[in-house]
Amino acid sequence: MSIAAAVAMPVTAVAQSETFPAPQDFSAMVQAKLPSVVGIIATGAEPTEAQRPRPQLPPGLEDFFGMPRPDAPPAGPRRALGSGFIISADGYVVTNNHVIEGASQIEVTIEDDQRITANLVGTDPATDIALLKVEDQDEAFPFVEWGDSRDLMIGEWVVAIGNPFGLGGTVTSGIVSAQSRNINSGPYDDFIQTDAAINSGNSGGPLFDAEGRVIGVNTAIYSPSGGSVGIGFAVPSHVAERIVDDLRDDGQVDRGWLGVQIQPVSDAIASALGLGDTSGALVNDVTQGGPAAEAGVQSGDVVLSVEGSDIADPRDLIFSIADLAIGQEASLTVWRDGQERELAVEIGRQPGSVNVAAQMDTDSDAGEPRLGASVAPLTSELRAQLGLPDTINGLFIQGVAPGSVAAQAGLSRGDVIVEIDNEVADSVSVVRDAMEAAQSENRPVLLRVYRGGTYQFIAVPTQDNDG
Judge whether 203 counts as a catalytic residue. yes
Nearest alpha carbon to residue 50 among 30, 31, 67, 29: 67
Out of 36, 83, 128, 412, which one is annotated catalytic? 128
Nearest alpha carbon to residue 398 among 456, 363, 350: 350
Q: HSE-up of 367 (CA within 13 Å, CB side)?
A: 4
CB–CB of 192/236 below 8 Å? yes
pLDDT tens per residue, range 224-262: 777 778 899 999 999 999 999 989 988 888 888 898 888
Neighbouring CB atoms inside 10 A of 144's CB total 21
Q: Quick one: CATH architecture of 368-460? A: Roll (2.30)
> Nearest-5° angle of CA 133, CA 135, CA 136?
145
Q: 447 vs 6, which has greater pLDDT?
A: 447
Q: 67 vs 215, which has greater pLDDT?
A: 215
Q: Would you say residue 46 has pLDDT above 60?
A: no
10 Å CB burial of residue 38 (0-12, 13-18, 19+) is buried
Percent of the chain with pLDDT over 70: 80
Residue 268: partners with Cβ closer than 8 Å, 6 or more residues away = none
pLDDT tens per residue, range 81-104: 999 999 999 999 999 998 988 788
Distances (CA, A) of 151 to 13, 122, 238, 350, 413: 34, 28, 10, 29, 34
Residue 70: per-residue pLDDT = 42
Q: 378 vs 142, which has greater pLDDT?
A: 142
Residue 24: per-residue pLDDT = 74
Out of 36, 149, 173, 203, which one is annotated catalytic? 203
Q: Would you say residue 132 has pLDDT above 60?
A: yes
Nearest alpha carbon to residue 82 among 144, 159, 161, 163: 163
pLDDT tens per residue, range 274-310: 999 999 999 988 888 889 999 999 999 999 999 999 9
Hey, what's the torsion of the CAs at 406, 407, 412, 416, to 10 degrees?
-10
Mean of pLDDT over the chain: 81
Judge whether 363 counts as a catalytic residue. no
What CA–CA distance (Å, rounded) separates 448 from 420?
A: 6
Q: Would you say residue 389 has pLDDT above 90?
A: no
Q: Do domains 27-51+75-134 and 149-250 have the same CATH topology?
A: yes
**Single-letter residue type at 277:** D
Fold designation for 256-349: Pdz3 Domain (2.30.42)
0.75 cut: is pTM over it?
no
Distances (CA, A) of 217 to 41, 150, 312: 17, 14, 26
Residue 391: per-residue pLDDT = 84
Residue 357: per-residue pLDDT = 43
Percent of the chain with pLDDT over 90: 42
What CA–CA distance (Å, rounded) separates 438 from 462?
A: 7
Query: Which CATH number fits the domain 27-51+75-134, given the four candidates 2.40.10.10, 3.30.1330.60, 3.30.450.40, 1.10.150.120?
Result: 2.40.10.10
Confidence of residue 188 (pLDDT cuts 50, 70, 90): confident
Residues 339-354, mean pLDDT to the nearest whole number? 82
Phi, psi (degrees; rounded to nearest 5) at 345: -125, 135
What CA–CA distance (Å, rounded) separates 146 from 237?
A: 7
Residue 388: per-residue pLDDT = 81
Q: Would you say residue 38 has pLDDT above 70?
A: yes
Going from N- to C-terminal start, the domains of the chain cover: 27-51+75-134, 149-250, 256-349, 368-460
Q: 49 vs 225, which has greater pLDDT?
A: 225
Neighbouring CB atoms inside 10 A of 296's CB total 15
Q: Would you say residue 384 has pLDDT above 70?
A: no
Judge whether 412 counts as a catalytic residue. no
> Nearest-5° angle of CA 321, CA 327, CA 328?
60
Write 167-174 long-range contacts (CB < 8 A, 24+): 167/201, 168/39, 168/109, 168/113, 169/34, 169/37, 170/202, 171/26, 171/30, 171/34, 172/196, 172/197, 172/198, 173/26, 174/230
Residue 15: per-residue pLDDT = 52
Out of 36, 98, 246, 305, which one is annotated catalytic? 98
Confidence of residue 171 (pLDDT cuts 50, 70, 90): very high
Distances (CA, A) of 372 to 69, 412, 454: 33, 11, 23
**Which superfamily does CATH assign the domain made up of 149-250 to?**
Trypsin-like serine proteases (2.40.10.10)
Confidence of residue 33 (pLDDT cuts 50, 70, 90): very high
